[in-house]
Amino acid sequence: RRSGAQLRAARMLDQYEDEYRAHASDTLAKLETAESASHRDDRHAPTAAAACSLDAAKEVMELLEMECGALPKAQRTALSARVRSYRSELGDLGRRLKALQRVDARAASAASADSIREDLFSGANDQASERSRMLATNDRLAAGTDQLRQAHAATIDMEERGASIMGDLARQRDTLMRTRGTLGAAREGLDASRRILQQMGRRASTNKLMLRAIAGTVLLLLLFLLWPASQAATSAPPPPTSLAVHPKAARHGRQ
């Protein structure tokens, strides 16, 4: 029969698995909606929603892995297989999401290039206006290139920070798991000490009862041995009060 703590842990694991499945299903639905859209604007909203759902699923997966690490080995084996399948599923969803984001990025770049070409070739009849527009376009291209470089540098910096944060979280998770294992071992040690103290208490009570029984037996033996002597002393006849006549005195009396 499982204890209350094991039942609570089982319910918590079931809840985490249900939350993960809900987020994974929502991510898959949003990705399918975005993949079926033909225009970039129609893909933007479901792609962003899929990214949010995927992040939520990853957070639930981390909690599930922490709970799995604290389980006994017999229960952890069955859950670890499901956790690996969940991790594989998250990897597939992440790759599909990145593919959609790359498609949107290429579409945005193509739209920007079309806008630039339209600006370049509009008003071809006016040479001065065309020259000024070309110079402005070149300036915008240079500014856009600088912005792209800055965005790329910021993205790299964010990725490095994210990797550092994930490393810190992994170390903290390992520390928590080790602490939880240490607490479990300490709790088992306390339970063993409590059982030993209870056994010692029972033995002390048994020894006390045995001592009392021995003392009572000795007392009864003493009473049994002393009782006949006291009865004999009280029932013995008293000594005679008259003096005995010496034989020579008796002969003198007869003479």
Report the share of the chain in percent with pLDDT over 90.
7
On average, the pLDDT of the chain sits at 79
Quote the pLDDT of residue 196.
Answer: 93
Question: Please, what's the b/e burial string for 187-226 (b: 16 or more CB within 10 A of its CB; e: otherwise)?
Answer: eeeeeeeeeeeeeeeeeeeeeeeeeeeeeeeeeeeeeeee
Structure tokens at 158: 């964010």
Give the pLDDT confidence score for residue 252 in this predicted structure: 52
**C-alpha dihedral, 116 to 113 to 156 to 63, nearest 10°:** 120
φ/ψ region of 39 (left if φ > 0, alpha if ψ in -120 to 50, else beta) reads: beta
pTM of model > 0.85: no
Residue bearing the bigger pLDDT, 84 or 239? 84
Is the pLDDT at 41 greater than 60, yes or no? yes
CA 173 to centroid of chain Cα atoms: 9
What mean pLDDT is predicted for residues 87-111?
A: 82
Burial of 50 (0-12, 13-18, 19+ CB in 10 A): buried
pLDDT one-digit tens code per residue, 144-191: 887 887 888 778 878 888 888 888 888 888 888 888 888 888 888 888
- Given this model, what pLDDT does residue 214 score? 93
